[in-house]
Amino acid sequence: MQLAAPRSRRCCPGLTPPRLILIALALWLLQGCAAVTLTPPPVPDDPVTVAVLDHGRHSSLILPAAIPDTWVRYSYGDWTYYVERRTNLSAGLTSLILPTRAGLGRQILGGSDLPDAIRSQLRVPLEASYLLIVNRDRATALREELEAIWLDGHEDRRVSAEWGMAFVEHPEAYTLRNNSNRMVARWLRRLDVEVSRTPVLSNWQIESR
């Protein structure tokens, strides 16, 4: 006598693959809510000040410009959502799931006092700013690399009055695993700043040596 094979049971009734993906994404984002600790390098012989800006959901980085008392703020984000300001649900989900076109934003700030320049010249929301002392040569090398990207796309730049910045296309695609906060973390590591873990959200804290 041949017995019928037992019917398979679903371990989690009602949890379809899309729901499982959303749950996994939510858990990953919750894990990313914890603060990311930034530890600046030992004070170098030729120090300069840089600033990490927390805008609530995304971050940007300010570097000293080649001209004295001038600063350059750089940001990175999805072109459709961040640059074109098409902030509907479809555009937001697309930028989270699929690699999309990315933009590099640039703003010039002036003034000998960086905190004052940030307060008086920033047009976007700011939840916190963090000043770090780093090596001048490292800051210059990073700025020159970002300026090369900027100059390459300068003719097709997009000016955004809302952000107070101009944007060019960045060669690296935007994804959730390569968002603005992760890009800022990469830039900081180039400055010899220790980043405790790769961030998902914008949530920073400074730890002195």
Amino acid letter for position 181 = N
The low-confidence residues of the chain, meaning pLDDT below 50, are: 1-15, 17-18, 20-28, 30, 88, 91-92
Structural domains in the chain (count): 1
Assess if residue 164 is contained within a domain.
Answer: yes
pLDDT reported for residue 198: 87
- 92 in a structural domain: yes
pLDDT at 164: 87
The pairs formed by 159-165 with CB atoms below 8 angstroms and a separation of 24 or more are 160/83, 160/85, 160/105, 162/85, 162/123, 162/124, 163/75, 163/105, 163/107, 163/123, 163/124, 164/107, 164/121, 164/122, 164/123, 164/124, 165/73, 165/75, 165/105, 165/106, 165/107
Q: What are the tens digits of pLDDT across the range 139-168?
A: 999 999 999 999 999 999 999 888 889 999
**18 assigned to some structural domain:** no
Would 1 be classed as within a structural domain?
no
Tokens 């999805």 identify what position?
Answer: 78
Position 23 in a domain? no
Q: Encoding tokens for residue 151?
A: 């100059």
- Which residues, 6 or more positions from 18, have their beta carbon under 8 angstroms from its beta carbon? none
Residue 76 three-state SS: strand
Residues 6+ apart with CB under 8 A from 97: 176
- The whole-number pLDDT of residue 35 equals 87
Contact at 8 Å (CB) between 50 and 191? yes
What pLDDT is recorded for position 93?
Answer: 53
Tell me if 160 is assigned to some domain: yes
How long is the chain?
209
Residue 31's H or E segment, with its range, is helix 17-31
Position 158 scores a pLDDT of 92
Domain range enclosing 56: 35-206
State the pLDDT at residue 27: 44
Give, in order, the Cα–Cα distances in Å from 16 to each of 94, 174, 177.
Answer: 20, 27, 24
> Which three-class secondary structure state does DSSP give residue 64?
strand
Task: Give the pLDDT confidence score for residue 201 in this predicted structure.
Answer: 87
* pLDDT tens-digit series, residues 180-202: 999 999 999 999 999 999 888 88
